[in-house]
Amino acid sequence: MGHPRVKHPRVRQLQPTRQRTESDMADWVLRRTAARVVVLDQYGHVLLLQARDPADASKGHWWEIPGGGIDDGESSADAARRELFEETGIRDAEIGPCVWTQHARFTFAGWKFDQHEHVHVAWMDRIDLATLTPGGLEAFEVMAFKGHDWWSVDNLLASSDAVLPRRLREFLPDLANGTIPDSPIDITHIDPDIAW
């Protein structure tokens, strides 16, 4: 006695009609949810990473708070903690609540991103950043990150260097003074496309 024969629909093999080009990839956008973290020391200074786009030197450098994509099943706080370790080597920051959200669209390392970000606050005692070793940078991050530093609010406000999030200078003073919003504030720039 045999098993009844099951007819399977024909699966059509799709063959590319031409080679994929860079212009085909130019239309591809990575849509994701991300977590970032504003790390403050006991003096109210913020930890910023200096970065450059490894695929576009014309953008110059900028300073940004640590962060990146949220993995499946991961909370934004856990992602912020993981990204902080991967990008700086810091393990002992106290990750606090999500204080800001933002929508950002940008191109980095040749990839287009469209992401919704949850920005947490974290506190830690100041450490010598020269003693840190990042815990897991991706190849393009190794090329992108050029250093990190503690910035006072006054120095950040006086600087003309580009910063990310773009409205960091506007909202950081309250956080550095210990004012935590009751619910996350949307800090999306009026133009969510980052213009370099």
> What are the sequence ranges of the domains in the chain?
28-186
**What three-state secondary structure class fits 168?**
helix
Average pLDDT over residues 40-59: 90
pLDDT of residue 182: 97
Q: Which residue has the tokens 């204080």?
A: 99
Burial class (CB in 10 A: 0-12, 13-18, 19+), 10: exposed
Q: How many helices (H) and strands (E) does the chain have?
A: 5, 9
Question: What's the pLDDT tens digit per position in 102-136?
Answer: 999 888 888 888 999 999 999 999 887 877 776 77
Token pair for residue 117? 């970000």
Instruction: Give the rounded percent of residues in the chain with a pLDDT score beyond 90.
Output: 54
CATH 3.30.700.30 fits 28-186, yes or no: no
| Cross-strand partners of 61 | 52
Angle at 66 between CA 191 and CA 118, to 5 degrees: 55
pLDDT of residue 6: 39
Asked if residues 113 and 102 have their Cβ atoms less than 8 Å apart, the reply is no
Position 158 pLDDT exceeds 90:
yes
Q: Which pLDDT belongs to residue 161?
A: 96
What tokens does 22 get? 């860079």
Write the DSSP assignment of 136-160 as a string of letters.
---HHHHHHEEEEEEE-HHHHHH--
> The whole model's pTM is what?
0.81
**Coil vs helix vs strand at 115:** strand
pLDDT class for 194, splitting at 50, 70, 90? low
Asked whether 129 and 149 are in contact (CB, 8 A), the reply is yes
